[in-house]
């Protein structure tokens, strides 16, 4: 049954339409409609009826705006999304009146979520609530909460309080969520139409559990029973209607003490279903009998092997593998749920796996660009994509390619959201426009690998998305060049980077923190108008291998302060030289910005060319 919600009195419409406010409606800026995120499916401008006031899709809604007043139709879920759209329209319109329009919209997928790994790195209740609230504003309806891992079992257990003793933690000692805090977050999410999916990862990722209990081999009966009791205790914290899905992980059970018989998995699965919950687990992962939902991770193929309904978290939905400026190509060209029939495609969850230690709580959302990801990927998860484009996951198409317009449109909307809707955001939003850029890439022999490249971070080779990298014919030197015309002389900052880190794999042997005086270990250089730009003085120079307890602090461009640069009036020449021998992630980044890295803005009056001017 549909519900109508009228923020003002609908009986006033006829009178209002005849009054002087009609003139204000005509004079209002229409840009606010073109800046909504996610982008609505159907938008009709003007006050005439388009016969589209009923939406059959669950979560669908119709929003009619007449003389700056809204009327909304939809089911309970749809009305919530209509209110979010209306709230955005008012912020985007600013002091202007929202113009007459009819918006008809609905989600492509049932679940649209974001996962935070709080097992490895504790994050404050306030920060978690901020993520949930902002996600809800952009029509995310799932918060996947990874709360138990090797570094800590971070959900309070009153049945097994030994899980919270200091000796059980390897990181953020003594930091966990009380049962009262857990219930508070569930209630906070529910009030915003967001379902919390808690994850107790087992039998892998259980070092904290094993340290707390002294059980080194989870194949024993005692481990089976205790973990079953913890599942029961988790389910006791909320009715099934409020917490209908429980995630048991089951991935990466690699250590000897994590090998368990199938009977253990059967027992834990039954605990979930006996509590009236739907079971969820990772795929690839151990076999969970009766499993209703698989969450796909790692790789680009469907790993289900059956017709199980699934949630997609593959490829660049692991945003800890993605640079902020790379989010645009992910949002534009990765198709959620690429396999199976429609009823199997439940949606997608964007994951934030920050395996490495952090220096402070805010670093997880700063280093993984969580808030730009929420805005950009809201469109991807809400609408889906007509076609999957793996060759564009980390590489925007050339401007003359018809596919380019989708990325340019998403970027324009995201910048509007940053500047108008999220202008008071207390968290970092490290994203600036890049589609106006134009780069030329050549290899050591002078072969042109790319022309008019319209993006900030360029990947000659990418560790995760090789199909979308440029892949030089041989190792040696790659050169990136651009000519920037500035309308005036200006001192500003620049994001500069030649080393890319995945925050979930520690510092790889290929990409250690550079030594003092280096941009990366291969001797990369950057010149502006013929003068070399010196690299920062790194906090942890020359760190190699996999030292997960040495936090990243300034290694990547978007979470250190911008490098000061001077642009002269007229043409400025930028040249990056990237030597390389083998390896897995090879990047070049140069982006002029104003402000801080946490809250950057574009430098006005710049234009770019990939040809000498």
Pair (167, 291) in one structural domain: yes
CA triple 604-609-611, angle to 5 deg: 155
Q: What is the pLDDT of residues 238-267, one digit of tens each?
A: 999 999 999 999 999 998 899 999 999 999
| In the block, residue with structure tokens 């008012």 | 90
| Other Cβ atoms closer than 10 A to 240 | 13
Q: Confidence class of residue 136 from pLDDT cuts 50, 70 and 90? A: very high
Structural domain including 529 reads 404-609
Look at residue 30 in the predicted model and tell me its pLDDT: 64
- The answer to whether 550 and 506 are in contact (CB under 8 A) is no
CA 211 → CA 141, 151, 203, 221, distances in Å?
35, 10, 14, 17
- The answer to whether 520 and 510 are in contact (CB under 8 A) is no
d(CA 509, CA 544) in angstroms, rounded, equals 6
Q: How crowded is the C-beta side of 115, counted as CA atoms within 13 Å?
A: 29
d(CA 445, CA 125) in angstroms, rounded, equals 54
Look at residue 370 in the predicted model and tell me its pLDDT: 97
Q: What is the pLDDT of residues 31-67, one digit of tens each?
A: 899 999 999 999 999 988 777 655 778 999 999 999 9
The answer for residues whose C-beta is within 8 angstroms of residue 217's C-beta and 6 or more apart is: 223, 256, 257
Mean per-residue pLDDT for 169-197?
Answer: 97
**3 state DSSP class of 277:** coil
d(CA 531, CA 439) in angstroms, rounded, equals 19
Look at residue 27 in the predicted model and tell me its pLDDT: 42
Using the 3D structure, point to which of 390, 424, 456 is the last residue of a domain: 390
Pair (424, 332) in one structural domain: no
Mean per-residue pLDDT for 7-19?
Answer: 42
Task: Give a yes or no: residue 395 inside a domain.
Answer: no
Pairing status of strand 142-149 against strand 195-202: parallel
d(CA 378, CA 426) in angstroms, rounded, equals 20
Pair (91, 185) in one structural domain: no
Task: Give a yes or no: residue 396 inside a domain.
Answer: no
Look at residue 25 in the predicted model and tell me its pLDDT: 45
Q: What is the pLDDT of residues 496-553, one digit of tens each?
A: 999 888 888 777 666 788 999 999 989 999 999 999 999 999 999 988 877 778 888 9
Question: 492-527 burial, b if ≥16 CB within 10 A, otherwise e?
Answer: bbbbbbbbbbbbbbbbbebbbbbeeebbbbbebbbe
- The answer to whether 184 and 178 are in contact (CB under 8 A) is no
Task: Give a yes or no: residue 144 inside a domain.
Answer: yes
Pair (376, 410) in one structural domain: no
Task: Give a yes or no: residue 301 inside a domain.
Answer: yes
Number of folded domains in the chain?
3
Pair (257, 337) in one structural domain: yes
């Amino acid at each position: 049954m549909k519900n109508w919600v009228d923020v003002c009195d609908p009986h006033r419409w006829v009178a209002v339409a005849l009054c002087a406010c009609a003139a204000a409606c005509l004079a209002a800026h229409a840009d606010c409609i073109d800046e909504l995120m996610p982008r609505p499916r159907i938008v009709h401008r003007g006050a005439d009826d388009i016969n589209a006031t009923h939406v059959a899709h669950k979560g669908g809604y119709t929003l009619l705006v007449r003389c700056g007043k809204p009327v909304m139709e939809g089911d309970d879920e749809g009305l919530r999304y209509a209110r979010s759209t209306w709230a955005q329209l008012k912020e985007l319109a600013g002091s202007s009146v929202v113009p007459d329009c009819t918006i008809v919209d609905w989600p492509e997928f049932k679940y649209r979520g974001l996962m935070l790994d709080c097992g490895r790195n504790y994050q404050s209740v306030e920060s978690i609530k901020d993520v949930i609230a902002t996600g809800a504003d952009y029509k995310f309806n799932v918060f996947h909460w990874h709360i138990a891992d090797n570094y800590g079992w971070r959900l309070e257990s009153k049945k097994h309080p030994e899980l919270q003793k200091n000796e059980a933690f390897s990181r953020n000692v003594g930091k966990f969520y009380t049962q009262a805090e857990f219930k508070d977050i569930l209630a906070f999410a529910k009030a915003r139409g967001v379902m919390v999916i808690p994850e107790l990862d087992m039998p892998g990722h259980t070092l904290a559990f094993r340290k707390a209990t002294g059980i080194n081999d989870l194949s024993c009966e005692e481990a089976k029973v205790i973990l079953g009791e913890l599942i029961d205790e988790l389910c006791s914290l909320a009715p099934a209607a409020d917490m209908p899905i429980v995630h048991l992980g089951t991935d990466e059970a690699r250590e000897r003490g994590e090998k368990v018989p199938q009977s253990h998995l059967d027992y834990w699965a039954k605990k979930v279903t006996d509590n009236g919950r739907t079971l969820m687990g990772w795929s690839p992962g151990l076999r969970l009998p009766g499993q209703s939902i698989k969450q796909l991770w790692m790789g680009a193929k469907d790993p289900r092997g059956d017709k199980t309904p699934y949630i997609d978290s593959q490829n660049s939905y692991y945003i800890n593998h993605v640079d902020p400026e790379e989010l645009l190509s992910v949002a534009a060209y990765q198709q959620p749920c690429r396999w199976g029939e429609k009823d199997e495609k439940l949606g997608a969850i964007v994951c934030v796996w920050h395996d490495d230690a952090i220096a402070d709580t805010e670093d997880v959302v700063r280093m993984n660009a969580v808030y730009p990801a929420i805005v950009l990927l809201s469109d991807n998860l809400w609408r889906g994509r007509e076609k999957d484009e793996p060759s564009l996951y980390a590489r925007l198409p050339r401007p003359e390619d018809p596919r380019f317009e989708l990325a340019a449109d998403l970027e324009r909307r995201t910048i509007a959201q940053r500047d108008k809707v999220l202008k008071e955001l207390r968290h970092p939003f490290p994203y600036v426009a890049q589609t106006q850029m134009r780069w030329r890439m050549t290899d050591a022999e002078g072969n042109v690998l790319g022309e008019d490249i319209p993006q900030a971070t360029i990947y000659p080779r990418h560790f995760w998305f090789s199909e979308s990298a440029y892949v030089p014919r041989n190792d040696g030197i790659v050169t990136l060049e651009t000519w920037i015309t500035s309308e005036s002389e200006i001192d500003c900052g620049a994001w500069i980077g030649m080393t890319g880190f995945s925050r979930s794999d520690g510092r790889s042997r290929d990409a250690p923190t550079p030594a003092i005086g280096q941009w990366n270990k291969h001797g990369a250089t950057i010149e502006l108008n013929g003068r070399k730009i010196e690299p920062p003085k790194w906090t942890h120079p020359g760190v190699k291998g996999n030292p997960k307890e040495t936090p990243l602090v300034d290694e990547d461009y978007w979470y250190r302060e911008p490098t000061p640069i001077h642009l002269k009036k007229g043409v400025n020449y930028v040249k990056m030289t990237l030597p390389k021998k083998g390896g897995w992630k090879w990047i070049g980044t140069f982006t002029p910005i104003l402000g801080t890295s946490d809250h950057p803005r574009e430098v006005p009056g710049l234009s770019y060319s990939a040809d000498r001017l």
